[in-house]
């Protein structure tokens, strides 16, 4: 919608309109399945139209845009709270089919970004929410397709966003099994954002698969009792680049290695050899040392201590408060349920905390750390690391190297450490520090505090009332919605900071009074209130907005004129 247009409030019962719709979730038309809605895009730049739809979990849909002669359209699905669920466009696939996991109200937004100038007429279009035929593979245990131990591989395909394919397999207690999901092109590895897992009939996770030698595998597992279990293969992406839909795969279930070392319900010590060992500890508080070789250890129930030693080891804690140490090699360490302590050691390690309040340390190497659910404490160490806190209020320190940090849902405390880091707060009221280096920091949803630290940083507050402090260096700060506060505690000659989207009358520039004082001065020496303190600023109009100069430190405020900045736009403390 262009700036001169008035938003149109649409009756929710109306399914046809020829007017341009507001790019606002609160003023939408209703999109009924298989019923086209006609509207138009406003010329002159970006325009977004929003539609309300009631969707059924598991039903496959597609969003089809017809009659539009322009280009650059983008179709997205949001939940009832306005959180992005899917981006439906992905280059060669056009509009991807999708399904939602829960019944309810959703919103479909359709946008363009390559339109003509303002003197062109509106561009009409028709939008249809099309229902599609059911998935060939079952999406719940009740409709699960069969899989067989030692039988031929069972084929499937991820054929829409949000797809969950479920397979039922009969397993016996006391025996060892492995399950694998392979691809037509195993050399390229699994597509991103997929999950392969084994669960009980009650839905309890027994094992989440991991990538090894071009396939996703559960590794060696035992089951607590004989019966039917369920393998599920899921697409977890939001669409866009890297989405897994239209991906064929094959699932195979086999007997595990005959020489696996299987423990009992007692508390035991189980040690491996210099070969590639498989150790399944069972119940009890067990202690295992894998020895040399590429080993696989499962702790099972109990508070276990698992040590991988040399080699590329896979350690699974299972239930209980476990201690897992990967040591040397490129290790996979999975805590499972409980309050676990995980260490990767040397090498490029993957650490998954699982459920519970876990502690994860990556050590040296390019590590991938995922906290899972719970309030986790995570540190990556040296290397180019990827850290995802998951659900819960997490505390994350990235360490040395150019790291990617994502807090996930919850009120998180995140630190980038040394290096050129990218830090994303996710949902919740987060506290984020970029640390040393040229960092990119995003608060995302919530009322966040963002600090750049040293270096040339870019800070983006995202939704919510955020507080942004660039620190030392030439920084670029964006509030991006909400009533934001831009903090300046010191002024340094030669530095230039940019406020990319200051909103006059909503946002504030917070200045520490001490930063305005000459040596030996006290606050009362420069005045008694904001109007007096403003005299320390030289405010002029620059090429892209106002420019504030204090002690040869320049603050460029985009989108406002010098005359717009008054004492009401500043907070002196």
151-188 pLDDT per residue, tens: 999 988 877 777 888 999 999 998 999 999 987 654 45
Task: Please identify, among 131, 164, 192, the residue that sits at the C-terminal boundary of a domain.
Answer: 131
Confidence of residue 421 (pLDDT cuts 50, 70, 90): very high
Name which of 21-35, 294-308, 396-410, 413-427 the model is least confident about. 21-35
Same domain, 87 and 39: yes
Look-up: residue for tokens 């009980």? 200
Query: How do residues 183-240 score in pLDDT, each as one tens digit?
Result: 765 445 555 567 889 999 998 888 988 877 778 899 999 998 999 999 998 877 666 5
Residue where one domain finishes, among candidates 482, 509, 541 = 482
Report yes or no on 290 lying in a domain.
no
Q: Give domain status of residue 287, yes or no.
A: no
Looking at the fold, whether 472 and 498 belong to one and the same domain comes out as no
Residue 540 lies in a domain: yes
Tell me if 312 is assigned to some domain.
no
Query: Which region among 122-136, 265-279, 316-330, 506-520 has the lowest average model confidence (pLDDT)?
Result: 122-136
User: Measured in whole angstroms, how far is the alpha carbon of residue 499 from the centre of its chain?
Assistant: 26
- Number of structural domains found in the chain: 4
- Between the CA of residue 110 and those of 22, 40, 475, what are the distances in Å? 11, 11, 34
Task: Give whole-number Cα distances, 51 to 10, 30, 78, 267, 388, in Å.
Answer: 10, 5, 10, 59, 32
Q: How far apart are CA 154 and CA 131, in angstroms?
A: 27
DSSP letter string, 114-154? B---TTSPPEEEEEEEEE-PPPSS-SSGGGPEE--BTSPPE
- At 86, the pLDDT band (50, 70, 90 cuts) reads confident
Per the domain annotation, does 350 fall within a domain?
Answer: no
- 47 and 99: one domain? yes
Task: Give the residue, 360 or 43, on which the prediction is more confident.
Answer: 360
Q: Per-residue pLDDT for 470 more than 90?
A: yes
Its domain, for residue 560, covers: 493-573
On whether both 459 and 500 belong to a single domain, the answer is: no
* Averaged pLDDT of the chain: 86
Q: Is the pLDDT of residue 5 over 80?
A: no
Instruction: Evaluate whether residue 272 is within a structural domain.
Output: no
The average pLDDT across 490-504 equals: 95
Task: Return the percentage of the chain with pLDDT > 70, whole number.
Answer: 87
Q: Do 498 and 460 belong to one domain?
A: no
- Domain assignment of residue 81, yes or no: yes
Confidence (pLDDT) at 76 = 86
Q: Are residues 167 and 114 in the same domain?
A: no
Which among 131, 161, 178 is the end of a domain? 131
Residues 6+ apart with CB under 8 A from 13: 30
């Amino acid at each position: 919608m262009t700036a001169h247009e008035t938003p149109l409030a649409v009756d929710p019962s109306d399914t046809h309109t020829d007017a341009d719709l507001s790019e606002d979730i609160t003023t939408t038309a209703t999109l009924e399945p298989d019923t086209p809605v006609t509207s138009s895009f406003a010329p002159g730049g970006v325009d977004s139209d929003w539609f309300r739809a009631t969707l059924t979990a598991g039903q496959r849909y597609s969003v089809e845009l017809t009659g539009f002669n322009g280009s650059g359209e983008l179709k997205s699905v949001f939940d009832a709270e306005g959180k992005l669920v899917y981006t439906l466009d992905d280059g060669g696939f056009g509009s991807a089919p999708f399904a939602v996991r829960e019944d309810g109200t959703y919103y479909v937004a359709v946008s363009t970004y390559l339109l003509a100038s303002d003197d062109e007429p509106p561009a009409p279009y028709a939008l249809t929410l099309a229902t599609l035929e059911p998935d060939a593979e079952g999406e719940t245990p009740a409709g699960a397709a069969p899989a067989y131990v030692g039988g031929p591989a069972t084929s499937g395909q991820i054929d829409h966003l949000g797809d969950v394919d479920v397979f039922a397999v009969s397993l016996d207690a006391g025996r060892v099994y492995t399950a694998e999901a392979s691809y037509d092109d195993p050399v390229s590895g699994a597509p991103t954002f997929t999950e392969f897992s084994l669960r009980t009939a009650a839905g309890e996770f027994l094992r989440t698969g991991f990538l090894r030698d071009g396939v996703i595998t559960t590794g060696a597992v035992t089951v607590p009792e004989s019966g039917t279990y369920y393998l599920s293969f899921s697409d977890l992406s939001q669409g866009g680049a890297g989405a897994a839909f239209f991906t064929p795969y094959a699932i195979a279930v086999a007997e595990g290695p005959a020489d696996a070392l299987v423990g009992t319900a007692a508390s035991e010590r189980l040690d491996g050899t210099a070969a590639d060992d498989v150790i399944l500890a069972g119940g009890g508080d067990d202690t295992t040392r894998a020895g040399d070789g590429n080993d696989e250890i499962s702790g099972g129930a109990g508070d276990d201590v698992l040590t991988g030693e040399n080699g590329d080891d896979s350690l699974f804690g299972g239930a209980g408060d476990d201690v897992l140490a990967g040591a040397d090699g490129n290790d996979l360490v999975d805590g499972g349920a409980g309050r676990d302590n995980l260490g990767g050691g040397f090498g490029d390690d993957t650490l998954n905390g699982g459920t519970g309040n876990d502690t994860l340390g990556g050590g040296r190497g390019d590590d991938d750390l995922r906290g899972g659910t719970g309030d986790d404490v995570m540190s990556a160490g040296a290397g180019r690391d990827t850290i995802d806190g998951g659900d819960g209020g997490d505390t994350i320190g990235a360490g040395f190297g150019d790291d990617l940090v994502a807090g996930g849902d919850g009120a998180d405390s995140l630190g980038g450490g040394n290096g050129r880091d990218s830090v994303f707060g996710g949902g919740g009221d987060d506290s984020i520090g970029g640390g040393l280096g040229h960092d990119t920091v995003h608060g995302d949803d919530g009322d966040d505090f963002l600090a750049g630290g040293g270096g040339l940083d870019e800070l983006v507050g995202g939704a919510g009332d955020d507080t942004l402090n660039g620190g030392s260096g030439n920084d670029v700060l964006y509030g991006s919605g909400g009533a934001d506060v831009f903090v300046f505690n010191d002024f340094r000659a030669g530095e230039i900071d940019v406020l990319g989207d200051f909103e006059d009358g909503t946002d504030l520039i917070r200045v520490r009074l001490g930063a305005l004082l000459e040596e030996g001065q006290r606050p009362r020496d420069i005045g008694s209130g904001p109007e007096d303190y403003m005299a320390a600023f030289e405010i002029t109009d620059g090429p892209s907005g106002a420019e504030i100069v204090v002690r040869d430190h320049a603050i460029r405020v985009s989108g406002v004129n010098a005359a717009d900045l008054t004492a009401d736009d500043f907070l002196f403390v």
